[in-house]
Amino acid sequence: MSVAHAGHVHSDPHSANHRPHDEHVVLELGGGLGALIVYTDRTLLHGEIEISPAGADEQRSHKDVLERVVAGRSFYAAVFDRLPEGRYTLWHDGEPHLRDAAVASGEVAELNWR
C-alpha cells in the first residue's frame, strides 16, 4: 500500500490551504527501525497525535493527521516513521489515548484510532 507523505503542516482543516496528500511515503525499515500508521476519522484532520516510548511519557514527538489518497480513496492518518523497535504510548490533547502499541523492526504497524 502506498501512503502519502506525513508532512508537518499546521493549518485550519477548513482553510483554503487544505489539500489531500497523494505523495508516496518512503519509510526506513529494518536495522532496529519500524513505522506506525494511525488511522483516524475526519474529525482529527490536521490535529496532532503524539507518541512516546513506553515508560518515558515526557519524551513525546508528534505528527499531524492528514488526508491521504490511495487508489482514489481518501482516508485520514498520521505516519510515524523511523521508530526504534519497542512499545509506545499515543497521546491526544495531553492525555494518553493508547498505551503499549508495539513497533517491530522492519515492519509497519497499523492502528485504528476510532
The 10s digit of each residue's pLDDT in 89-110 is: 999 999 999 999 999 999 999 9
The letter for the amino acid at 13 is P
**pLDDT of 21 above 90:** no
Give the residue-averaged pLDDT of 22-26: 77
In a domain, 86, yes or no: yes
Q: Which three cell numbers stand for residue 103?
A: 513497533
- Helix or strand or coil: residue 23? coil
Q: What are the two backbone dihedrals, phi and then psi, of residue 42, each rounded to the nearest 5 degrees?
A: -60, -25
Q: What pLDDT does residue 7 have? A: 39
Q: What pLDDT does residue 20 have? A: 76
The model's pTM is 0.80
Range of the domain at 106: 33-112
Q: Which three cell numbers stand for residue 112?
A: 485504528
For 37-92, the pLDDT digits (tens) are 999 999 999 999 999 999 999 999 999 999 999 888 999 999 999 999 999 999 99
Q: What pLDDT does residue 10 have? A: 39
27 Cβ neighbours under 8 A, 6+ residues apart? 35, 79, 81, 82, 108
Quick check: 65 and 4 in contact, CB under 8 A?
Answer: no
User: In which band, very low, low, confident or very high, does the pLDDT at 17 lie, cut at 50, 70 and 90?
Assistant: low
- Helix or strand or coil: residue 58? coil
Listed in order, strand segments (DSSP E) in the chain are 33-40, 48-53, 61-64, 66-70, 73-84, 86-92, 95-103, 108-112
In a domain, 103, yes or no: yes
How many domains does the chain contain in total? 1
In a domain, 64, yes or no: yes
In a domain, 53, yes or no: yes
In a domain, 22, yes or no: no
